[in-house]
Chain A
């Protein structure tokens, strides 16, 4: 049985239909010692059937050290979002750590739509404000499923 109800699936299909870029969810997982990896996979597997533009790339956290390093992943389950269009891959620098259930699920959908081409909700002034950021910063946003 699917995790997403039929009406919600339709809502997601409609939202994903507006995507102008493909989005690859690079899913870092491992077989042993990860309580929520299976749950994360179940949730992610619900998405590609709802849009041709969404794909999942499963990466073994233990075996694929190059990808782990490339995306700066330090725990599982983790998801990195990568946009893709004619000009190639666009690393979004958006990550999710932990199974994307509950509140995190809507945050994940929002991120997929953004990477997929939906205009960001930031104003021109806010973008300019962000442009004054001169060095790299990592934001860890903690939340809980409910």
Chain B
């Protein structure tokens, strides 16, 4: 998706290596996707549903300060 949309940055995070992040985002099961540090998508969804969730959560979450234009 990051490849297709210039607005998306995708980071694959190895949860066991970074317990600070896993704790901060309360990762208790994987895969878990955190959107702009706030929204959450649990599990692996079909692509259509996943994209829609990302769009909905992006509208609902604050912009990432370091990526503001």
With A97-B13, A98-B13, A130-B5 known to touch, is A141 a contact of B31 (CB < 8 Å)?
yes
**Chain A residue with minimal CB distance to B5?**
A130
| Most B C-beta atoms less than 10 A away, residue of A96, A130, A134 | A130
| Number of A-B pairs, beta carbon distance below 8 Å | 152
Contact with A126, one of B7, B27, B48 (Cβ below 8 angstroms): B48
B-chain residues with CB within 8 Å of residue A94 when the two chains form the complex: 2-3, 9-10, 12
A78 to B33, CA, bound (A): 18
Q: How large is the interface on B (under 10, 10 to 19, 20 to 34, 35 or more residues)?
A: 35 or more
Is B64 a contact partner of A122 (Cβ separation < 8 A)? no
Interface size grouping (class) on chain A = 35 or more
Q: Out of B31, B32, B47, B63, which one reaches A136, CB within 8 Å?
A: B63
In the complex, A141 Cα to B2 Cα: how many Å? 12
- How far apart sit A90 and B55, CA to CA, in the bound complex (Å)? 24
- Which B residues contact A (CB, under 8 angstroms)? 1-18, 21-22, 25, 27, 30-37, 47-48, 51-52, 54-55, 58, 63-64, 66-68
